[in-house]
């Protein structure tokens, strides 16, 4: 079953190979597992922390300790520390599971009567504090939309599929498949995150190069506000003033409840392949990736790892001997120390895949790229949603891991990668004398720039408070570096509470006023006043 | 030189062949040329209509009758009637030609002191009343941005080009060409309309399938509001809340002066071809076009004419004998009465063009499409910006012509075409017993739907007032038909004043409140209160 205090299903454990652990220790030093430091609290202990509910007796809501604990936190590192070690843990007052728009309306009315804050909950996978209990004295009602998960209508001519917004990734695909169609939105949280959540937080999937970001997939839908409804029409395009879909995209639960989402579906492709291509160094790898996307090669994904991430990937992969032989082969092809791994995906008809593969490999060879075929690509595909599971195993061994991301124009990409990594390392050293394992890849590539995705692993500190403090310093340092280089504070995770202090830097004064006025217009009484986006 | 009361350069005249005129007369009946009905007013007569300026003596502005006449109207049919026959003609009080952001700021301050309304003017090509003198007693200052037309910076790595917003289409391309780059934004107004105007009105070019709509090309920029500045960052993508670029896109001069626009440039393609393909009937033609765009064939444009538009195109083309032979050939290939012409474009490397052409023609053959090669395609390219010139010649002969457009999902396209054409015909018959020449093409195609572009030609009435009244009835009937079928009131022309009554139907109550609050936030004192978008 689903872990209450970690990622994913507790029957799934993604371990680290021995050499991986050895390698990690060499970099960060010997960690101290939780039971030797502060042990994790048990489920029963956590339940005992749940206090009385201020919404006791509200009809049609669940005020049980279980429901409130299960909806207490997302998946950010501070969320983990709260759940694992019980620090600063607080809880919503009640959880409701609406099954229809009528339910939603009724619950909003009840919440308004009690002056409760309504917090909308999709898959609970936020990593930036979207779904934590808001500050302040108002009671908090969580709307868990997981029961609003049906495909309501599919129009095969326009290829438009209308879903209830609470539908999770796999259920989107399961319901489109009988029509021979799919959506193809694959964030790493895919197995749990929901369509409505993707829209509310401007999600982007691993194959957005082919299937588009949620902005491209979101054709229209319906939103229920405190006292009105918003119907977003399904125009393929329009010049009729500002695009209001783009206001709901990224609204993060501040403007109303997204109850229906119509998406642009795609046919299930005939063929798909993922290949691993190595480049001798970052310079050539980055130049190839940029050329590929700027030349509009019709790929379905690119993921370009820095030299360090490539090294880490190979070190943590296990199969040491296999990799040794692989590296011998690459060395003979002039690809050695400092090599960078690109995973590239091809999706479409068989003819399209083979044609695109040909022109892609032809271009790659100009940058001394060497393809190892599908072995590493298939491994990536197999594990594409497994990354977060590693957090569980690392935690057991005494390591904390977090990721952060941004997007910048191409002329800032290479420098940006170093700046972010250095900011994290310096903060860790200054704050706690800790050495990090930090590495980066380009996760989403565009003609004018790229997303930068950085992972950092560090030792849990003697106390959870110290670990949290260390994380805060690193996260703040990296966020400042991102803002200073003119990057966006989030390319795919959203703003929530953790990023909201940095939002004004990119939205500007008028932009923030716009945001506040849009929120005020849709939600004059502050029913959805969670503090996401604007810190209120 | 540029016509003061019609389209384009007065050295360019696009006439109609004899058979074209005969054909037109057969449908609408014999027209009455202006000089026999109410003759057009002369330039001198028009100048005499210009009254005293309420901004006399404002420093750095032009209050001459010439400047005010030249900035009095756009290119809509009512605008034509005003300029050609002097009905309801009114004028702004002054025109300023800022050359820098400092100029803009200074002018905004001066306007605010005089409580004047500031109307931003790009190329003056609006067809929906954007740039007509606003209702009300306030003085009106026109900001003509045509002198802010320079490329300020080009970043070859990110392929981002920062322009002053007043730059006209040809000057955009002229300044990018030395870098081997281009933008490729080709609305029919391309020769006069400006980059800032495209952003403000959400323009779309004839090759948007390849180069993207302005929403895709607009990476960021700067806006000067009454008392602040908005800087839109150049993130390739972002999940940091609502996308504020999408608020400026379509803002139609209500939120501030767009002074800088950074666009995503593309390399000048190695090869480009436009081909004419005929299909036996609309059903198969529409099915092919939809399949082509839904299968994502990497085309650079498609323009699909209805059977009637195809017939008209061939009738007005001249070269009667050439066309007769063409039709004999098509008949042998099973393409006769009711045939539909598709113009399809291929752009990119030579290899890409030949590959795409092959797969496109292969798909077309499945729908019994017959290609006539580049003859008709090249003719389309040659005349792609000439359409509006035809209005001049038609007017001289006593015909008025107007166009309107929308976009709907694919399941509504075919029915939508008929509904719009019938609404126009019925209104013309009911109002004035007139028979129209009306025809339609699909101008911009998307996976989930298509734009519908309808042209209608009718006889000028005995008096300009009657002609205007007839037009109003037809425009209103078509607009209601569009709204009733759930189409957008504009796919590419914007809202202005003419469409603003129909905007609430698609934006909804909350949507309109959002719009008003965004305008109020950016422009609290109503400096830009022209009545575009919201009717105030």
Query: Which tokens hold the place of B37?
Result: 């009905």
Domain chopping of chain B, boundaries: 44-144, 151-267, 271-384, 388-494
Judge whether B236 is closer than 8 Å to chain A, CB to CB: yes
CA distance A98 to A148: 7
CA distance B339 to A513: 54
CA distance A456 to A402: 6
Pairing, β B271-279 against β B340-348: antiparallel
- Residue A35 — φ and ψ, nearest 5°? -60, -25
Its CATH architecture, for the domain B151-267, is 2-Layer Sandwich (3.30)
Pairing, β A340-348 against β A301-305: antiparallel
- Is B243 in contact with A250 (Cβ distance < 8 A)? yes
CA distance A456 to A473: 13
Tens digits of residue pLDDT in B72-126: 999 999 999 999 999 889 999 999 999 999 999 999 999 999 999 999 999 999 9
Tens digits of residue pLDDT in B48-79: 999 999 999 999 999 999 999 999 999 999 99
For chain A, give the mean pLDDT. Answer: 96
Pairing, β A117-121 against β A140-144: parallel
Res A41 pLDDT > 70: yes
Same fold, A44-144 and A151-267: no
CB-facing half-sphere around the CA of A227: CA atoms within 13 A: 9
Share of chain A above pLDDT 90, in %: 92
Which residues are bridge partners to B503 per DSSP?
none
| pLDDT, mean of residues A221-234 | 96
CB contacts of A495 in chain B (<8 Å) are 239-241
Tens digits of residue pLDDT in A59-104: 999 999 999 999 999 999 999 999 999 988 999 999 999 999 999 9
Judge whether A518 is closer than 8 Å to chain B, CB to CB: yes
| pLDDT, mean of residues B377-395 | 92
CA distance B183 to A336: 40
Q: Do the interacting molecules here have an ipTM over 0.90?
A: yes
**Tokens 């080709």 — which residue?**
B186
Does residue B357 contact residue B273 with C-beta atoms inside 8 Å?
Answer: yes
Does residue B449 contact residue B367 with C-beta atoms inside 8 Å?
Answer: no
DSSP line for B184-232: ----TTTTT-BHHHHHHTT---TTHHHH--HHHHEEEEEEE-SS-EEEE
Check the annotation: does A252 bind a ligand.
yes
- Is B239 in contact with A492 (Cβ distance < 8 A)? yes
* Torsion (CA) B466, B472, B474, B480 in degrees, nearest 10: -160
Question: In this structure, which CATH number among 3.90.25.10, 3.30.70.3450, 3.20.20.70, 3.30.390.50 belongs to the domain A271-384?
Answer: 3.30.70.3450
| Radius of gyration, CA atoms only, chain A | 23
Res B466 pLDDT > 90: yes
Judge whether A511 is closer than 8 Å to chain B, CB to CB: yes
CA distance A311 to A265: 38
For chain B, give the mean pLDDT. Answer: 96
| Residues 411-440, chain A, touching B (beta carbon < 8 A) | 411
Tens digits of residue pLDDT in A139-162: 999 999 999 999 999 999 999 999
CB nearest B204 (choices: A239, A449, A493)? A239
Tens digits of residue pLDDT in B349-362: 999 999 999 999 99
Q: Please give the span between the terminal C-alpha atoms of chain A, in angstroms, as a whole number.
A: 36
CA distance A429 to B422: 74
Query: Which tokens hold the place of B500?
Result: 């603003």
CA distance B261 to B193: 14
Min Cα distance A406 → chain B (Å) is 8
- Is B241 in contact with A229 (Cβ distance < 8 A)? no
* Fold adopted by A44-144: 3.30.43
Tens digits of residue pLDDT in B429-453: 999 999 999 999 999 999 999 999 9
Confidence class for position A57, pLDDT limits 50, 70, 90: very high
CB contacts of A490 in chain B (<8 Å) are 238-240
Which residues are bridge partners to B445 per DSSP?
B450
**H runs (alpha helix) in B49-128:** 65-70, 77-85, 101-113
Res B529 pLDDT > 60: yes
| pLDDT, mean of residues B478-488 | 98
Res A426 pLDDT > 80: yes
Res B400 pLDDT > 60: yes
Tens digits of residue pLDDT in A97-141: 999 999 999 999 999 999 999 999 999 999 999 999 999 999 999
Q: Report the residue of chain A nearest B229, measured CA to CA.
A: A510
Q: Which has the closest alpha carbon to A68: A57, A53, A78?
A: A53
DSSP line for A272-306: EEEEEEEESSHHHHHHHHHHHHHTT---SEEEEE-
**Tokens 């920029």 — which residue?**
B221
Q: Mutate which of B238, B290, B486 to test chain A, going by most A C-beta atoms within 10 A?
A: B238
Q: Report the residue of chain B nearest A513, measured CA to CA.
A: B521
Confidence class for position A227, pLDDT limits 50, 70, 90: very high
Confidence class for position B387, pLDDT limits 50, 70, 90: confident
The catalytic site residues of A sit at 453
Query: Which tokens hold the place of B81?
Result: 């009637």
* A40: Cβ contacts below 8 Å, ≥ 6 apart: A5, A34, A84, A85
Confidence class for position A20, pLDDT limits 50, 70, 90: confident
Confidence class for position B536, pLDDT limits 50, 70, 90: low
Q: Which has the closest alpha carbon to A216: A246, A252, A238?
A: A246
CA distance A279 to B286: 45
**Tokens 């001459």 — which residue?**
B64
Res A526 pLDDT > 60: yes
* Fold adopted by A388-494: GMP Synthetase; Chain A, domain 3 (3.30.300)
Res B284 pLDDT > 80: yes
Query: Looking at residue A536, what is its pLDDT?
Result: 57
DSSP line for B475-533: HHHHHHHHHHTT--S-SSS--TTTTGGGHHHHHHHHHHHHHHHHHHHH-TT-TT---TT
Q: Mutate which of B237, B292, B489 to test chain A, going by most A C-beta atoms within 10 A?
A: B237
CA distance A73 to A92: 10
| pLDDT, mean of residues A170-194 | 98
| pLDDT, mean of residues A359-382 | 95
Query: Looking at residue A19, what is its pLDDT?
Result: 85
Share of chain B above pLDDT 70, in %: 100
CA distance A477 to A162: 42
């Amino acid at each position: 079953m689903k872990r209450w205090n970690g990622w994913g299903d507790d029957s799934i454990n993604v371990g680290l190979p021995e050499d991986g652990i050895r390698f990690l220790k060499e970099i960060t030093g010997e960690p101290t597992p939780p039971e030797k430091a502060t042990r994790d609290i048990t489920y029963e202990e956590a339940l005992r922390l749940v206090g009385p509910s201020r919404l006791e007796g509200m009809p049609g809501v669940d005020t049980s300790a279980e429901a409130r604990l299960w909806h207490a936190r997302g998946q950010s590192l501070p969320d983990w520390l709260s759940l694992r070690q019980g620090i600063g843990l607080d809880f919503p007052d009640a959880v409701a599971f609406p099954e229809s728009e009528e339910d939603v309306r009724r619950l909003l009315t009840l919440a308004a009567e009690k002056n409760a804050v309504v917090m909308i909950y999709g898959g609970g996978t936020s990593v930036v504090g979207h779904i934590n209990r808001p500050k302040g004295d108002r009671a908090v009602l969580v709307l868990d939309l997981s029961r609003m998960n049906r495909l309501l209508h599919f129009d095969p001519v326009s290829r438009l599929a209308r879903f209830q917004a609470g539908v999770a990734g796999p259920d989107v695909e399961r319901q489109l498949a009988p029509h021979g169609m799919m959506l193809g939105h694959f964030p790493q949280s895919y197995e749990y995150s929901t369509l409505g959540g993707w829209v509310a937080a401007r999600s982007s999937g691993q194959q957005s190069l082919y299937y588009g970001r949620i902005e491209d997939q979101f054709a229209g839908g319906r939103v229920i506000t405190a006292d009105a409804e918003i119907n977003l029409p399904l125009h393929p395009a329009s010049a009729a003033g500002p695009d209001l879909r783009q206001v709901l995209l990224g609204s993060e639960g501040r403007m109303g409840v997204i109850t229906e989402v119509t998406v642009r579906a795609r046919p299930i492709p005939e063929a798909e392949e993922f290949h691993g291509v190595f480049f001798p160094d970052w310079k050539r790898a980055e130049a190839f990736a940029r050329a590929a996307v700027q030349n509009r090669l019709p790929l379905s994904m690119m993921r370009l790892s820095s030299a360090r991430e490539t090294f880490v990937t190979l070190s943590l992969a296990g199969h040491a001997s296999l990799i040794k032989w692989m590296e011998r082969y690459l060395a003979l092809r002039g690809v050695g120390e400092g090599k960078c791994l690109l995973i590239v995906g091809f999706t479409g008809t068989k003819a399209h895949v083979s044609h695109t593969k040909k022109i892609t490999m032809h271009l790659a060879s100009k940058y001394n790229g060497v393809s190892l075929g599908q072995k590493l690509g298939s491994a990536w595909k197999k594990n594409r949603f497994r990354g977060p599971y590693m957090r569980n195993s690392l935690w057991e061994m005494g390591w904390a891991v977090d990721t952060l991301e941004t997007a910048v124009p191409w002329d800032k990409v290479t420098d940006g990668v170093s700046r972010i990594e250095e900011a994290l390392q310096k903060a860790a050293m200054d704050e706690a004398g800790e050495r990090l394992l930090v590495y980066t890849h380009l996760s989403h590539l565009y003609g004018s720039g790229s997303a930068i995705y950085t992972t950092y692993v560090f030792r849990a500190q003697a106390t959870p408070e110290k670990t949290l403090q260390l994380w805060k310093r690193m996260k703040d340092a990296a966020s400042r570096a991102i803002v200073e280089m003119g990057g966006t504070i989030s390319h795919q995770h959203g703003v929530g509470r953790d990023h909201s202090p940095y939002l004004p830097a990119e939205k500007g004064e008028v932009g923030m006023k716009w945001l506040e006025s849009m929120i005020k217009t849709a939600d004059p009484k502050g029913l959805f006043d969670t503090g996401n986006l604007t810190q209120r």
